[in-house]
Amino acid sequence: MENLNLIDTFSEFKELKNIDRTTMMRVLEDVFRNTLLKQYGSDENFDIIINIDKGDFEIWRNREVVEDDEIEDPSTQISLTEAKKIDEDYEVGEEVTDEVKLADFERRSILALRQNLSSRILELEKDNIFGKYKDRIGEIITGEVYQIWKKEIMVIDDEGNELILPRSEQIPTDFFRKGDTLRAVVLKVEMRNNNPLILISRVSPVFLERLFELEVPEIFDGLITIKKIIRIPGERAKVAVESYDERVDPVGACVGMKGSRIHGIVRELKNENIDVINFTNNIELFIQRALSPAKISSIKINHEKKTAEVFLKPDQVSLAIGKGGSNIKLASQLTEYEIDVYREIEEEDEDVDLEEFADEIESWIIDELKAIGCDTAKSVLDLSEADLIKRTDLEEETIKEILKIFKAEFE
């Protein structure tokens, strides 16, 4: 009965824990030999035969036949009298092989053997999980939400392994209930307190990269390469892509017909706004594309300091900066250039009120100009010198000095 219980123990583990045959055989033999060592002081003269398929094992002991009064070590020697009880043909000097039954062990030894076996199998299972997921870092996994805590969520994979999704690795707008299915990327695998800790993430750029590989066959096949991904999880992401085949439009392929491919990714990321950008080594052009959807008027680049001054029309500035500065922040990280945005003053707005010249022109002269309907410097410059002399009470020299000041302002 004890034999059957022991067989059930390792058979159960083999079936449920996916431990390979060779490893199981090695562990079983090690455990049995350890027990033999404690029981008999040596395991060298024992043969252990394990048949996992049949769920059975045998232990055979080899002893040398000696005269009855010459026994020095009962574990390795057997008296001639005892040997003849097994077989009348045995003689001194021959080797006797007999089976050791589990019943021959002390009950305490049997319990220790079972506990040792269970412990070793458990260690193997931990190592197995650790090794399996260590090789899967960067892969997308699908699991079921099993437990929700304040700082993390426990997720169970299809084999019942426990994975941890920390709050810091969740998209801010993520909301899960127990039993929900979620997707994430394996972020880190480590041993903590002798237990495998598998951390998964939904905010890692690698997660977004893997989603693109799933949705865009050209990326999976290597026709399109993702050069870089920058994310503010749940808000915005910029993905630089490049095609090695001139016939393939990388941006169009990633977005899909009417956005069919990218919509699935956006939904998975809780409506994260994703800008797909065509990568180029032309840094000026790359910065222009990175600041999409804003349209840039001109750029001044300092390659040594890796800075860029970008000039835009007033209605494009807010687009370039983005909500909370997200667009310009991501563009800077994507291009690795510090980007500063400047508002380009439009011609019609490039004017100065006359009061701004109070430190250069006396107030009574400004009042005289206002009296003929001129409130700004440009409105004065629009009139000829002759018109100003005719319409005001100002002297010619004064008018010439005023025009000189106003012209200097716009040069």
Say whether both 287 and 393 belong to one domain.
Answer: no
Answer whether residue 237 is part of any domain.
Answer: no
Say whether both 8 and 125 belong to one domain.
Answer: yes
Answer whether residue 213 is part of any domain.
Answer: no
Q: Is the pLDDT of residue 113 over 90?
A: no
pLDDT band at residue 237 using 50, 70 and 90 as cut-offs = very high
Say whether both 293 and 190 belong to one domain.
Answer: no
Give the helix ranges, DSSP H, for 216-247.
217-220
CATH number for the domain spanning 376: value is 1.10.150
Say whether both 117 and 16 belong to one domain.
Answer: yes
**273: exposed, middle or buried (Cβ count in 10 Å: 0-12, 13-18, 19+):** middle
CATH number for the domain spanning 312: value is 3.30.300.20
In which element (H, E) is residue 380 found?
helix 377-381
Say whether both 285 and 306 belong to one domain.
Answer: yes
% of the chain at pLDDT higher than 70: 91
- The pLDDT value recorded for residue 4 is 45
Task: Select from 350, 382, 399 the last residue of a domain.
Answer: 350
Is the bond leading into 293 cis (omega within 30 degrees of zero)?
yes
Both tokens of 152, joined, read 């993390």
Say whether both 101 and 166 belong to one domain.
Answer: no
For 208-222, write each residue's pLDDT tens digit: 999 999 999 999 999
- The pLDDT value recorded for residue 407 is 85
pLDDT band at residue 15 using 50, 70 and 90 as cut-offs = low
Q: Give the chain's domain count.
A: 4
CATH number for the domain spanning 75: value is 3.30.1480.10
Say whether both 18 and 123 belong to one domain.
Answer: yes
Q: Is the pLDDT of residue 379 over 60?
A: yes
For 183-212, write each residue's pLDDT tens digit: 999 999 999 888 899 999 999 999 999 999
Answer whether residue 274 is part of any domain.
Answer: no
pLDDT band at residue 12 using 50, 70 and 90 as cut-offs = low
Pick from 321, 343, 317, 323: nearest CA to 332: 321
For 313-366, write each residue's pLDDT tens digit: 878 888 898 888 899 999 999 999 999 988 775 555 567 888 878 878 888 888
Say whether both 118 and 150 belong to one domain.
Answer: no
The full DSSP string for 172-186 is: TT----TT-EEEEEE
Answer whether residue 256 is part of any domain.
Answer: no
d(CA 403, CA 411): 12
CATH number for the domain spanning 168: value is 2.40.50.140
- The pLDDT value recorded for residue 332 is 96
Answer whether residue 90 is part of any domain.
Answer: yes
- The pLDDT value recorded for residue 179 is 95
Give yes or no for a contact between 302 and 284, defined as CB atoms under 8 angstroms apart: no
**177: exposed, middle or buried (Cβ count in 10 Å: 0-12, 13-18, 19+):** exposed
Helix axes 314-321, 326-335, angle to 10 degrees: 70
Average pLDDT taken over every residue of the chain? 85
Q: Is the pLDDT of residue 282 over 60?
A: yes
Q: Please, what's the b/e burial string for 353-368 (b: 16 or more CB within 10 A of its CB; e: otherwise)?
A: ebeebeeebeeebbeb
Neighbours of 127 (CB within 10 A): 14
Task: Select from 156, 180, 201 the last residue of a domain.
Answer: 201
Task: Select from 201, 219, 246 the last residue of a domain.
Answer: 201
For 47-71, write each residue's pLDDT tens digit: 887 776 666 677 888 888 888 788 8
Give the helix ranges, DSSP H, for 199-344.
205-215, 217-220, 250-255, 260-268, 283-290, 314-321, 326-335
d(CA 81, CA 139): 68
Kindly tell me the sign of the dihedral angle through the C-alpha atoms of 205, 211, 216, 222: positive
Answer whether residue 401 is part of any domain.
Answer: yes
Q: What is the DSSP letter of 94?
A: -
d(CA 53, CA 29): 15
Answer whether residue 227 is part of any domain.
Answer: no
Say whether both 118 and 10 belong to one domain.
Answer: yes
Q: Is the pLDDT of residue 5 over 70?
A: no
Say whether both 68 and 91 belong to one domain.
Answer: yes
CA 300 to chain centre: 35
Answer whether residue 226 is part of any domain.
Answer: no
Q: Is the pLDDT of residue 229 over 90?
A: yes
Say whether both 166 and 82 belong to one domain.
Answer: no
Q: Which domain holds residue 304?
A: 280-350
Say whether both 341 and 369 belong to one domain.
Answer: no
pLDDT band at residue 157 using 50, 70 and 90 as cut-offs = very high
Q: Is the pLDDT of residue 304 over 90?
A: yes
